[in-house]
Structure 1
Amino acid sequence: MRFVFGVILVLTTAITIWLMTLNSPSPDPDVSELSTSVELSRHERNSNEENTAQPELARTNDTIEHKDLSLVEQALLRFPHISAHELEAIFANNPELKKIRVDFIIALIERGDMAADELITNFRFWGPYTVAQSAAGNAPHDLTLDQFNKLIELGADVNGEKLWRIVMAKQTNGKVLDKWYTHAALGPEVHKELFGNAITFGNTALYDFLTNGVGTQLVLNEEEDKYISELTNEVKGSLDGYAQLKQQLDETSDAKKHLQRQNLINRLQRWHGQAQILKAMSDDESERAELEQVAAQLSQKLKEFAQH
């Protein structure tokens, strides 16, 4: 399992670094900025076309014309065409789109800008990275079952290959995990790796799905048991790790602070999930109690970040 965990961490880091090269560290603006941008750009076009003697009328008509459009519809107006290879740069340069990422990508596929299974890049060791994987793997929130079904309906080859196993390891919607497991015809041959994914990402939903939904159990050999012990000690000391990372965040320049802050939140979420999973795996009552306390403290830190 040490090998499995190691591969997952390397893969995750590599994909994250690749995506980060396309992402701006600027903070996410409110999603209303998208509406404002569309309104302003349309108003500018109207101003050039209409009599400037009635600017207020032009602005009023424009507002009436767009007030009932959804954010996705506004984004489609704003970007008449986007290719698959432009996708990541579009989200990096327009962070207000991130909150509607999945629905916007689905709309782009439906409009014919790209195919669900169209290649964005090809990772040497992990295979093709497609439009559908970009939607699922970078969703700001969990995929809904409707979104997942729509990607499949639009032609996404949602399977059990390595990169899909990584992408789906981030999903915490049990219905989506169940649909993927069935649709991809997964079985015992990947159970241990999926358990490894769940522990590595701190994904309690995936762990619960495997143990309760699939009805399988994680059986460790001696080396794997040793690794779990080491990970447990790391998670127990996560608050010390948090203190160090928080100090680094406080000392980070404003230009990089947003990205550093998000990285710290991601780390807290992972530790929190790992604490819960490791507690469920442990037979030691004292250790279970300690991990429960750690999970509660990490949860409090996450709440503090959410309030600022």
Structure 2
Amino acid sequence: QEARETIPEESVADVEHEAAVASLEPLQRADDSVEDDPELDRIAELSGQEFAMALLQHSGDLDSSIENMLVMIESGRIDVNKRIAELGNSQAMTPFLLAVGLSQGQLTLDQFHRFLDVGVTLQNDELSKEMMASLDNPEVIEAWYETAAFGPEDHEQLLNNSLKNGNLTLAEIILEDKKGELDGIKLSSDAIAGSITRIQAIAPLELQELKDELAAADEKELKMAESFLIPRLQNSVDETEILLQYAELSEEQRTQVIAANERYKDELEELKEILSTHSGE
């Protein structure tokens, strides 16, 4: 299954690629108090990929990584708007954007408000529009949209990004809740063409091979496989749903998308069944 990058180049996507390995490492905490954890002092001095990977390896999983990063901010170890990595075009990876990426689209409203409480600066820029399109929680999307003062002028790009990321929730918010459809907002021809190309390039999931691999996996590996594979396959389902509901397609394109949609749904159900079977053993 093709992985979707949420930001360009040296990014959360690169970190996520290593997260499965990092999550299997034992926790390295000196004691049970996260706030007093001396390892967080060391991590706070790092930057770029070193910061992200050290955080992942120390925390043990993605959720704990976000929590530890918030603890570092709330305890004053790092600034909430620290430029962790420069990404070009005056854009930078910040703790908030890293948390969005690490959340696999599941950043909670409570976590969002904790970032607000410590003074996060939310930008209305290209990177933010890319990252917003990776979120599945409509409450967080709405809160980010309002706090960063997004508006109708951003709707077309957000809609195109929703297709790229397979984010049906964001597409519905822009076109329906924000009345984008009434304003004539449409998916661009380039966005549609890119999506069709992705669909054509994605090979069927090798379910039997995956089943054999998961049969030898332990509980932690199964949990990580579930946290990565199911969201990505759901993104593929949602990408085709966006095309079918909102894109202007030729008859040939619509036939291709319908076939892909049915295949992704079948694969998703089979994958859930495989994971459920092994998790119950």
Q: Note whether the superposition's TM-score is higher than 0.5.
A: yes
**1:208 equivalenced with 2:167 (yes/no):** no
Deviation, structure 1 residue 243: 3.8
Distance 1:278 1:234 in 2: 12
Q: Residue in 2 aligned with 1:157?
A: 121
Aligned partners of 1:278 and 1:291 also within 8 Å:
no
Please show how residues 111-150 of structure 1 align to structure 2 within 5 Å: 111-125=75-89, 127-140=91-104, 142-150=106-114
Distance 1:158 1:128 in 2: 12
**1:300 equivalenced with 2:269 (yes/no):** yes
Name the one with the larger helix percent: 1
1:268 maps to a residue whose letter is L
Shift in alpha-carbon separation, 1:182–1:262, aligned structure 2, 3 A: closer
* Alpha-carbon RMSD: 3.9
Distance 2:245 2:45 in 1: 42
Distance 2:134 2:23 in 1: 21
Distance 1:282 1:11 in 2: 24
Q: Percent identity at matched positions? A: 19
Aligned partners of 2:167 and 2:238 also within 8 Å:
yes
Deviation, structure 1 residue 144: 1.4
Deviation, structure 1 residue 262: 7.8
Residue of 43, 46, 69 corresponding to 1:85: 46
1:219 maps to a residue whose letter is K
Shift in alpha-carbon separation, 1:192–1:305, aligned structure 2, 3 A: farther
2:148 maps to a residue whose letter is A
Deviation, structure 1 residue 152: 1.6
Aligned partners of 2:162 and 2:168 also within 8 Å:
yes
**1:198 equivalenced with 2:193 (yes/no):** no
1:218-269 C-alpha deviation (Å, 9 max, x unpaired): 4256x44xx626734753774x34349x68x97xxx9xx9999987656523
Please show how residues 39-54 of structure 1 align to structure 2 within 5 Å: 41=30
1:277 maps to a residue whose letter is I
Q: Secondary structure at the match of 2:21?
A: coil
Distance 2:7 2:105 in 1: 21
**1:280 equivalenced with 2:245 (yes/no):** yes
Shift in alpha-carbon separation, 1:191–1:113, aligned structure 2, 3 A: same
Distance 2:200 2:258 in 1: 11
Shift in alpha-carbon separation, 1:229–1:212, aligned structure 2, 3 A: same
Instruction: Return 5+ residue gaps in structure 1 as ranges.
Output: 1-7, 43-65, 67-72
Distance 1:167 1:305 in 2: 31
Shift in alpha-carbon separation, 1:233–1:125, aligned structure 2, 3 A: closer
Shift in alpha-carbon separation, 1:24–1:168, aligned structure 2, 3 A: closer
Higher mean Cα deviation, 100-109 or 151-160?
100-109
2:240 maps to a residue whose letter is A
Deviation, structure 1 residue 147: 1.3
Residue of 218, 242, 246 corresponding to 2:205: 242
Distance 1:74 1:293 in 2: 45
Shift in alpha-carbon separation, 1:237–1:281, aligned structure 2, 3 A: farther
Shift in alpha-carbon separation, 1:91–1:125, aligned structure 2, 3 A: same
Please show how residues 259-278 of structure 1 align to structure 2 within 5 Å: 267-278=232-243
2:39 maps to a residue whose letter is F
Aligned partners of 2:12 and 2:101 also within 8 Å:
no
Shift in alpha-carbon separation, 1:174–1:20, aligned structure 2, 3 A: closer
1:79 maps to a residue whose letter is E
Q: Secondary structure at the match of 2:99?
A: helix
Residue of 11, 21, 25 corresponding to 1:26: 21
Deviation, structure 1 residue 165: 1.5
Residue of 183, 186, 196 corresponding to 1:219: 186
Aligned partners of 1:120 and 1:131 also within 8 Å:
yes
Aligned partners of 1:91 and 1:97 also within 8 Å:
no
- TM-score, with length taken from structure 1: 0.66
1:263-295 C-alpha deviation (Å, 9 max, x unpaired): 765652331221222222257897485455234
